C-alpha cells in the first residue's frame, strides 16, 4: 500500500511538472484502451452519422471514447477494419453491418475476440442486435396513408444489402393487402441508398403506367427526397396530387420542401440500449426491437384550398 502523504506528494510534483497520463501506456498496464470502435456502412449517409452521434454521447457519459470507421459500403473494407480493431485497439465494437450475409464471417471473427453489439440491422449470428421495429413502422405509415384515402402505392426500396429493407418490403406487401391497397409487383422499385436512383425510379413508374400512384412509400428519407425532387421536376404537386412518406426521420426530412412525413427512429434509445448491452449492464440477447413513431408533415398533409378538401 502507498501511504496517503506519499501519494499526495507524487500528485503535487506531477501537477507542478505538467505530467499527463500516457493513454497507450495506461492501456497496456490495465489491459484496456478506454475506446470503443464503431464501424458503419457509410459516413456519407446522414442516418448513420446521427446514429453515431447518439452512440458517442452514450459512451462519453461513461468516460469512453469512440473510434469511428467507415466501411465505404464495401464488405472487403469492412473486414479489413474489423481485423484492425479486434486486435486490441478497442475494448468493444458497435457494428452496423454492410450486408446481411457477406458481413457474417468478419463479424463472427470479431465477436470472438472482443465484445460486440450490432445496431440498426444485423447478420444472423448469436450477437446482440438493437434496432427499430420495422413491421410496426411500416404498418404505422400505411395506416396513416389509408386514413388519407390512398388506394394505390408504389414502394421505393434498397433491399440489395439491407435486411431491414427486406423486412420492410415484406411487411408493406402484407399490410397493403390487409388494408385493400394496390401494390403491384412492378411498383416495388430497387433504389439502393441513392437520391438520384430514387428520382429515376419515380420516372420509370410514371413513364411505364402513365398513371400517378396515390402515394410513394419510401423505405428511407433519402429515397423520399429523391422522389419528391423528381415529382416536382415533372410538375406533380406533393401532397395535392401524390403523397410521399419516408422512414428514419433524418434532419433533412424536416428541411425538405415540402417537409417529409416519416417514421421517427428512436436513435437515442437504440444507442443507449446497445451500449448498455455492450458494457454488460444489460444482459439481453438476440434481436431487440424498439418501436418508432409517426411524424406527420407536409408531404401527406392536404394544404388549405387543395382539390378535394
Task: For the domain covering 134-266, report its CATH number.
Answer: 3.40.50.2300
In this structure, what DSSP letter does residue 69 have?
E
Q: What is the pLDDT of residues 211-242, one digit of tens each?
A: 899 999 999 999 999 999 999 999 999 999 99
Return the sign of the alpha-carbon dihedral for residues 207, 195, 266, 164: positive
Task: For the domain covering 4-127, report its CATH number.
Answer: 3.40.50.2300
Phi-psi region of 60 (alpha: psi -120 to 50; beta: other; left: phi over 0): alpha
| Per-domain residue ranges of the chain | 4-127, 134-266
How far is it, in rounded angstroms, from Cα 208 to Cα 37? Answer: 46
Q: What pLDDT sits at residue 209?
A: 75
Backbone angles phi, psi at 132, to 5 degrees: -75, 155
How far is it, in rounded angstroms, from Cα 221 to Cα 35? Answer: 31
pTM reported for the whole predicted model = 0.86
Q: Decide if 127 contacts 111 (C-beta within 8 A).
A: yes
How far is it, in rounded angstroms, from Cα 201 to Cα 97? Answer: 26
Taking the CB of residue 32, how many other CB atoms lie within 10 A of it?
A: 13
* Domains 4-127 and 134-266 equal at CATH topology level: yes
Helix residue ranges, H only, the chain: 4-17, 23-30, 46-60, 75-86, 104-113, 134-147, 163-179, 195-209, 221-233, 267-278
Q: What is the pLDDT of residues 123-172, one digit of tens each?
A: 989 999 999 999 999 999 999 999 999 999 999 998 765 668 888 999 99
Give the gyration radius of the chain's Cα atoms. 23
Element (H, E) at 36: strand 35-40
C-alpha cell at 223: 429515397
In tens digits, the chain (309 residues) has pLDDT values of: 567 677 677 667 767 776 554 443 444 345 589 999 999 999 999 999 999 999 999 999 999 999 999 999 999 999 999 999 998 899 999 999 999 889 999 999 999 999 999 999 999 899 999 999 999 999 999 999 999 999 999 999 987 656 688 889 999 999 999 999 999 999 999 987 789 999 999 999 999 877 899 999 999 999 999 999 999 999 999 999 999 999 999 999 999 999 999 999 999 999 999 999 999 999 999 999 999 999 999 999 865 444 444
Amino acid at each position: 500500500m502507498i501511504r496517503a502523504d506519499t501519494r499526495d506528494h507524487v500528485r503535487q510534483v506531477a501537477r507542478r511538472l505538467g505530467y499527463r497520463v500516457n493513454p497507450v501506456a495506461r492501456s497496456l498496464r490495465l489491459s484496456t484502451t478506454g475506446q470503443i470502435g464503431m464501424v458503419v456502412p457509410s459516413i456519407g449517409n446522414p442516418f448513420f452519422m446521427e446514429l453515431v452521434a447518439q452512440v458517442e454521447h452514450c459512451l462519453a457519459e461513461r468516460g469512453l471514447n469512440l473510434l469511428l470507421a467507415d466501411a465505404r459500403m464495401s464488405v472487403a473494407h469492412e473486414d479489413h477494419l474489423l481485423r484492425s480493431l479486434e486486435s486490441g485497439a478497442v475494448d468493444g465494437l458497435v457494428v452496423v453491418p454492410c450486408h446481411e450475409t457477406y458481413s457474417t464471417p468478419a463479424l463472427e471473427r470479431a465477436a470472438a475476440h472482443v465484445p460486440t453489439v450490432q445496431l440498426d440491422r444485423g447478420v444472423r449470428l448469436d450477437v446482440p442486435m438493437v434496432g427499430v421495429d420495422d413491421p410496426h413502422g411500416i404498418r404505422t405509415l400505411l395506416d396513416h396513408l389509408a386514413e388519407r384515402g390512398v388506394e394505390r402505392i408504389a414502394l421505393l426500396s434498397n433491399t440489395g444489402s439491407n435486411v431491414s429493407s427486406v423486412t420492410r418490403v415484406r411487411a408493406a406487401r402484407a399490410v397493403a393487402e390487409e388494408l385493400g391497397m394496390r401494390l403491384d409487383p412492378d411498383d416495388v422499385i430497387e433504389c439502393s441508398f441513392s437520391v438520384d436512383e430514387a428520382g429515376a425510379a419515380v420516372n420509370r413508374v410514371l413513364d411505364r403506367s402513365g398513371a400517378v400512384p396515390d402515394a410513394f412509400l419510401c423505405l428511407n428519407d433519402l429515397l423520399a427526397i429523391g422522389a419528391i425532387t423528381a415529382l416536382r421536376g415533372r410538375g406533380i404537386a406533393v401532397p395535392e396530387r401524390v403523397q410521399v412518406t419516408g422512414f428514419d426521420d433524418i434532419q433533412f426530412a424536416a428541411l425538405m420542401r415540402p417537409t417529409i412525413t416519416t417514421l421517427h427512429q428512436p436513435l437515442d434509445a437504440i444507442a443507449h440500449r446497445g451500449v448498455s448491452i455492450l458494457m454488460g449492464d444489460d444482459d439481453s440477447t438476440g434481436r431487440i426491437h424498439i418501436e418508432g413513431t409517426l411524424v406527420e408533415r407536409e408531404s401527406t398533409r392536404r394544404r388549405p384550398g387543395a382539390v378535394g378538401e
